[in-house]
Amino acid sequence: MNTRLLVTSLVLSLVALGCGDEAGSTSTKNTEPPSFGKSDSLFGVIERGHFEAVAGGSASGSLEGLQADAWRFNAWGGTRVRITLESPGIEIDPYLIVDGPFPGGYGKTVAFNDDDPGRDTLNSVIEVTLEEPGAYRILVGTYDMFQGAPSPGGRYELTYECLANCEMPQITLAQLLGGLSAQLGQAEALLAVSGALENLFPDADKTMVDSVLLQVQAVMANPEGAEQFPIVPLSLAETAQGFFESKETPVATPGAVDFDVETILRQGCVAKRSELKPVHPLVPGLMTGSVANHAIDECSLQRSQDFAEVLNNLALENGSTVSYAGVTYTSISEVFRALLAAGHDITITNDRYFADFLGLYYNGAAVAAPLWLETTIATADGSGNLAIPSPHTHHTIVVSGPLVNTKLMFYMGVSAGTSFRAVSNIRSPWTGERTQFTYSSTTAPELIEDLLVTAGALRKKWTDEAAGLPAGGYGSLGVCNDSTGVLEMKVEGGASIFPFARPERDTAGGDEIDALLARLPSDVSGYDSAEALTRIRSTLPFSDLAQMPFPQFRATLEALSAVQAP
């Protein structure tokens, strides 16, 4: 069997090329939309992807026969969008349909257009306000196709623009607590928040919870002062771990898994998705968790989860394999080289965010409520110490090409330990996003391989060492910043993140991961204030301080920067 066939065999185990939800049509030209959900479907739909950018984006492709393309996007209630579908050279008669919201939105047509009513053209244009929040799907087809007649082949260009209410709504913690006091009365609101804390952190150290309750009382008396709440001293990181560490029975180290291509593909598309849960009965509308991103269709998410599972098991070097047609692959390096040989591009970015440990949402709005870490860095006016929103960092891995199109993350987390993870949720706007470093297989394939192999080695090491530890070793071995720092140290020779929470330990005579860890600072043991402030700035998820959603924190940082400026 030749090499390219072997490569293709591997890649087929990691992707499904299309999702076959079907649709039928009974429309007449430019008057009625096609009717969906029939068992005698007249055309098929292939999910091609989704628009991530808040403002919009564009896509292109080709249509032929009875296969329509689908592109998804998110709406937040009252979201107004404009969608344009054009055919270069007028090769086809474009037809647009928008259905949703998802989940459950198949066949629920909310807008359609055949010919742009504003111009004498065959191009299709939809401008619509979507009152219901959720994910929506743009169906890209032709007039013939949506009547059940095979369409002649032709190219299309799709443009999606969001015109209003384009982001998830959010409120401050002060607004939430002030609203609860106004709604329930201060005494009842305090009781509700106390119960919520117990539900959010059922296994937390009681001393820590009592400390936070004292902060709650102060905040209830002055909701406008709630920006920095709750505050935990960085020096008490182990105690603070009780906030976000569940003391559940440790998960056993996984055994060998043999991934078979045909078995994976027969599993269908039933992706695992997160969901929000009520925090406490006394606070209706207050939810906690992560918002599932239904703009990522089931098959795309399922294949991303399959890909992550393959990498996670190969990383353990425990005998796990992935095979197809008699060809077996046993390492992350082999997977990487196979993807490159098959014509794929891989991009890895080192990304920074604020951590959303509490994961609070109130009546559909994200609550900007980070866990604050108090440093020993004195503020410019000498009134106290700098407190920072707890950061989150990870590496994002994007694979694109003729067969595999997926997006993963790698980091040490509260759940799943140190692992590759499918991107499946929507981050709250207040957590920000900023890329510190970007690497591409097109220009530096050796760096991509170094990052992937080092990630696999770190997963193996920390999975082995986490045996018998709660939360997969989170906190006791390190946190997300430490896993990101190890990969950054490997390819950059330094570390630009604050704080690193790994404990100091003797690594003499250890392996390469031990050597990389030894070069990282252990900030729970102490740090130089000036050097730490430099790392804090490089860890911020906003390149422009004016965009940061915490004005008190922003002002404190700006004052410190002014003092330190030469």
User: What integer pLDDT is reported at residue 469 of this predicted model?
Assistant: 79
Average pLDDT score over residue span 313-331: 86
pLDDT(159) > 80: yes
Q: Does residue 180 surpass a pLDDT of 60?
A: yes
Task: Report how far Cα 111 is from the mean position of its chain's Cα atoms.
Answer: 29
Return mean pLDDT, the chain.
83
Predicted pLDDT of residue 5 = 30
The pLDDT score that the predictor gives to residue 32 is: 59
**Residues of the chain with pLDDT > 90: what percent?**
53
d(CA 127, CA 366): 27
Residue 260's pLDDT is what? 77
Among 232-241, 365-374, 512-521, where is mean pLDDT lowest?
A: 232-241
How far CA 16 is from CA of 115, 155, 267, 292, 304, in Å, comes to 33, 23, 11, 21, 10
Instruction: Inform me whether the pLDDT recorded for 245 exceeds 90.
Output: no
Predicted pLDDT at 153? 86
Average pLDDT over residues 452-470: 92
Whether pLDDT at 223 is above 70: no
pTM higher than 0.85 for the full model?
Answer: yes
- The strand pairing partners of 232, in sequence order, are 373
User: What is the rounded distance in angstroms from the CA atom of residue 172 to the CA atom of residue 362?
Assistant: 10
Q: Strands 170-172 and 434-440, how do they pair?
A: unpaired
Q: Which residues make Cβ contacts (< 8 Å) with residue 104, sequence separation at least 6? A: none
- pLDDT number for residue 72: 97
pLDDT-based confidence at residue 235 (cuts at 50, 70, 90): low
| pLDDT at residue 36, rounded to an integer | 47
Q: How far apart are CA 27 and CA 34, in angstroms?
A: 5
Question: What is residue 27's predicted lDDT score, i.e. its pLDDT?
Answer: 34
pLDDT(95) > 70:
yes
Look at residues 230, 227, 198 and name the one whose alpha carbon lies nearest to residue 211.
230
d(CA 441, CA 137): 32
CA distance 46 to 68: 6
Q: What is the pLDDT of residue 175?
A: 86
Instruction: Give the C-alpha distances (Å, rounded to integers) separating 191 from 96, 194, 226, 398, 411.
Output: 52, 5, 17, 45, 36
CA gap 202, 401 in Å, rounded: 45
Q: Is 326 strand, coil or helix? A: coil
Name the range with the highest mean pLDDT among 38-47, 275-284, 439-448, 554-563.
439-448
Domain ranges, ordered by start, for the chain: 3-164, 170-244, 258-564
Give the pLDDT score at 20: 28
Mean pLDDT across 362-383: 92
pLDDT > 70 fraction of the chain, expressed in percent and rounded = 84
pLDDT at 12 over 60: no
| Neighbour-count burial of 205, counting CB atoms closer than 10 A to its CB (0-12 exposed, 13-18 middle, 19+ buried) | middle
- Looking at residue 119, its pLDDT comes to 66
Residue 187 has phi, psi (to 5 degrees) of -65, -45
Q: What is the mean predicted confidence (pLDDT) over 296-307?
A: 91
3-164 — its CATH code?
2.60.120.380
Query: Which pLDDT belongs to residue 24?
Result: 28
Higher-confidence residue of 27 and 16: namely 27
311 — pLDDT class (breaks 50, 70, 90): very high
What per-residue confidence (pLDDT) applies to 282?
Answer: 81
Side chain identity, residue 236: L
DSSP string, 242-270: HHH---PPPPPPP---EEEHHHHHHT-S-
The alpha helices in 435-479, defined as continuous H runs, are 445-465
